[in-house]
């Protein structure tokens, strides 16, 4: 069969922070994609502010480079477990993968996850050992680790015969020899062209295009991105859109875009093997197939990951509502959430019995916290409830999501980590002593046991531990207490500004979350209590002025530094009877019921009801 020798389609897959995006930067620069006058930003593919700040890829991106008259389409994929569904769909668009592995860290949980998906799709792998310039790099051992992983994942003989390229993405160098680097990345370009199969040339057959990703543009509406699997598409052609449920809709192709460098370029024709974007179809969705009207043939559906975590999003009704945000009404918040659903296929937004609240379901804490962070940066004000796992009934049994967890810690901390994950109903599967004072532990843990665990884990391991987890499966619901916060909170009894004097009076009762001089309201959470019950405190108390001199008057008092919570920490900290108030300028924790006496009455009623049942 004929192939398109001028084209290669590859995806770059790896664990978080192994250098995928930096590698793409260098391939873009060295292929001459940019003109001499163009400035290329660091991690150019991560064009979203949050991606740049956190150094992670959230959304898959596609680009293309030219090398020796051949076009290489490159898809940069996310490495976080929350975006695993996106990785799986993208692999359907390509013929080969660059598996990037850190030459020091070796194979990690997401390496395993993404490689398993690539091998299942029968894709041709090229292994890139990145960060070879690190002083602690151990290339030979890591290549053995990668080979063991391939064998473990049932790779076929052709896949096991993978080429290895040793690279330093940050220096823009690569070679076939771990001991020395060439001055550029030509070795990597050549390895892609020689090893990744060229797409089949089926330009004469009836067209078939499948949507794998969605984009959204205010002027063009929804944009479907995917691969032309067969035939040729032309602007102006009549076509049929076959939906996931099999229904068909006729339309005309009005606009088509190709990718080159960091730009989308309008094109007139796309042929088999090309990755393109189509606009002009309102309800286009991931998995839909586009064909000619005289040859409607649906492609195999793309699996979309189900959400595993949900939260309530509410209109902000705190005493400070409307002070800091531009968009505060239920109409605006709902419209924004529905716009997000247009491009984020793993997100669900459902109405509740209240017109001011919605149930929002996503793939995990990171997925939902990034949505909330985007909303606050765009000027929205809202409140959110504690994240909860989505429970399913499978064969009459209530089941919840479980995660496979890999922990790398110094030997001294293994006991406390094993104990804390055991308390969260974690089951230890494996323990490997790596011989350099480091131990690798593998667990299966209910997802709800991991909500809020990362902060505890960091303090347990003094910041030396590394924890990674990815969704494993739905299993019967674990019984008893599974994770969650054991401590109570310090709740403000009145509105005003926090004072240094007021804070000094209560700092031995727990950990404070606010600086002196912060404006607060009644029912707002100002700190974590040392005990397991809530305590109402007066943190706005002023020192009484008298005209009597005190012998100890001028003694210097040192206050403990307050613990200022990030958005993720605030979401992890929440309990069932609390909300997190999110505005463009502030993150506040509060009780759902602000009034102390009403709160106490409800608590008594709840305890009586629990006793009777």
132 labelled binding-site residue: yes
Distance of alpha carbon 271 from alpha carbon 191, whole angstroms = 25
131 among the known binding-site residues?
yes
Residue located via tokens 């179809």: 281
Given a contact cutoff of 8 angstroms between Cβ atoms, the answer to whether 375 and 580 are in contact is no
In the sheet that holds 510-512, the strands lie side by side as 510-512, 525-529, 489-492, 535-537
> Using CB atoms within 10 A of its CB, is residue 219 exposed (0-12), middle (13-18) or buried (19+)?
exposed
Q: Is 217 annotated as a binding residue?
A: no
DSSP notation for 139-199: HHHHHHHHHHHHHHTT--HHHHS--EEEEETTTTEEES-TT---SSSHHHHHHHHHHSPPP
Residue 19 known to bind ligand: yes
Residue 15 among known ligand-binding residues = no
Provide the 8-state DSSP code for 327.
B
Task: Tell whether residue 437 is among the known ligand binding residues.
Answer: no
Tokens of 363: 């793939």
Nearest of 193, 262, 187, 185 to residue 31 by alpha carbon: 185
Contacting residues for 274 by C-beta, under 8 A, at least 6 apart: 7, 73, 227, 228, 258
254 labeled binding residue: no
139-152 vs 109-120: helix axis angle to the nearest 10? 50
Distance CA 127, CA 111 (A): 11
18 labelled binding-site residue: yes
Sort 559 into a burial class: Cβ within 10 Å, 0-12 / 13-18 / 19+.
Answer: exposed
Lookup: tokens for 341 = 């659903």
Question: Which has the closest alpha carbon to 446: 390, 516, 505?
Answer: 390
- Strand segments, DSSP code E, in 186-342 are 208-217, 221-230, 232-234, 238-242, 248-252, 255-260, 263-266, 269-271, 275-279, 289-291, 309-314
Q: CA torsion sign, 227 to 229 to 235 to 236?
A: negative
Pair 35, 262: CB distance under 8 Å = no
Listed in sequence order, the residues at least 6 apart from 529 whose beta carbon sits closer than 8 Å to its beta carbon are 487, 488, 489, 490, 509, 510, 535
412 marked among binding-site residues: no
Strand 7-14 to strand 96-102: parallel, antiparallel, or no bridges (unpaired)?
parallel
Neighbours of 41 (CB within 10 A): 11
595 labeled binding residue: no
Q: Phi-psi category of 177—alpha, beta or left, where left has phi over 0 and alpha has psi -120 to 50? A: beta
Strand pairing report for 70-76 and 7-14: parallel
Question: Which residue ranges are tagged as binding site?
Answer: 17-22, 130-133
List residues forming the annotated binding site for GTP: 17-22, 130-133
């Amino acid at each position: 069969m004929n192939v398109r020798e001028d084209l290669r389609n590859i995806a770059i897959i790896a664990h978080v922070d192994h250098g995928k995006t930096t590698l793409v930067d260098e391939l873009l620069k060295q292929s001459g994609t940019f003109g001499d006058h163009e400035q290329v930003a660091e991690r150019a593919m991560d064009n979203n502010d949050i991606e740049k700040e956190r150094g992670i890829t959230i959304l898959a991106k596609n680009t293309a480079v030219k090398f020796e008259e051949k076009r290489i389409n490159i898809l940069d994929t996310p490495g976080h477990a929350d975006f695993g569904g996106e990785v799986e769909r993208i692999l359907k668009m390509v013929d080969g993968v660059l598996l990037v592995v850190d030459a020091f860290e070796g194979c990690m949980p997401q390496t395993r996850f993404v490689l398993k998906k690539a091998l299942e799709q029968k894709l041709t792998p090229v292994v890139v050992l990145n960060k070879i310039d690190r002083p602690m790099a151990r290339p030979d051992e890591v290549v053995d680790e990668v080979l063991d992983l391939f064998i473990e994942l049932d790779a076929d003989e052709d896949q096991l015969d993978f080429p290895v390229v040793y690279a330093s993405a940050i220096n823009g160098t690569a070679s076939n020899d771990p001991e020395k680097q060439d001055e550029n990345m030509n070795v990597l370009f050549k390895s892609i062209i020689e090893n990744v199969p060229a797409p089949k040339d089926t330009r004469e057959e009836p067209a078939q295009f499948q949507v794998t990703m969605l984009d959204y543009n205010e002027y063009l509406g929804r944009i479907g991105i995917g691969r032309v699997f067969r035939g040729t598409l032309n602007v102006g052609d009549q076509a049929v859109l076959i939906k996931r449920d099999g229904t068909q809709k006729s339309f005309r192709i009005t606009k088509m875009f190709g990718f080159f460098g960091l730009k989308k370029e309008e094109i007139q024709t796309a042929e088999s093997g090309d990755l393109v974007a189509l606009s002009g179809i309102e309800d286009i969705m991931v998995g839909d197939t586009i064909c000619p009207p005289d040859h409607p043939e649906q492609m195999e559906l793309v699996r979309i990951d189900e959400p595993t975590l949900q939260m309530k999003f509410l209109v902000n009704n705190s005493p400070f509502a409307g002070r800091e945000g531009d968009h505060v009404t239920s109409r605006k918040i709902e419209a924004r959430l529905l716009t997000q659903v247009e491009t984020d296929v793993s997100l669900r937004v459902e109405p509740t019995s209240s017109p001011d609240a919605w149930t929002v379901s996503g793939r995990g804490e990171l997925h939902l916290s990034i949505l909330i962070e985007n909303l606050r940066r765009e000027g929205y004000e809202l409140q959110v409830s504690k994240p909860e796992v989505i429970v399913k009934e499978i064969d009459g049994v209530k089941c919840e999501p479980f995660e496979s967890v890999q922990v790398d810690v110094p030997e001294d901390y293994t006991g406390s980590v094993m104990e804390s994950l055991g308390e969260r109903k974690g089951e230890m599967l494996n323990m490997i002593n790596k011989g350099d004072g480091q131990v690798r532990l593998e667990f299966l843990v209910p997802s709800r046991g991991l909500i809020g665990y990362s902060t505890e884990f960091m303090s347990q391991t003094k910041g030396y531990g590394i924890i990674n987890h990815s969704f494993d499966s739905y299993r019967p619901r674990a019984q008893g207490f599974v994770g969650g916060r054991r401590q109570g909170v310090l709740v403000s009894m009145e509105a005003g500004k926090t004072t240094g004097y007021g804070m000094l009076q209560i700092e031995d009762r727990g950990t404070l979350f606010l600086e002196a001089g912060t404006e607060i309201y009644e029912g707002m959470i100002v700190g974590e209590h040392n005990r397991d019950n809530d305590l109402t405190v007066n943190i706005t108390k002023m020192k009484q002025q008298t005209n009597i001199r005190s012998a100890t008057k001028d003694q210097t008092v040192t206050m403990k530094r307050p613990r200022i919570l990030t958005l993720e920490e605030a979401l992890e900290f929440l309990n069932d009877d609390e909300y997190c108030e999110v505005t463009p300028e502030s993150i506040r924790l509060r009780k759902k019921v602000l009034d102390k006496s009403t709160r106490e009455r409800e608590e008594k009623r709840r305890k009586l009801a629990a006793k009777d049942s």
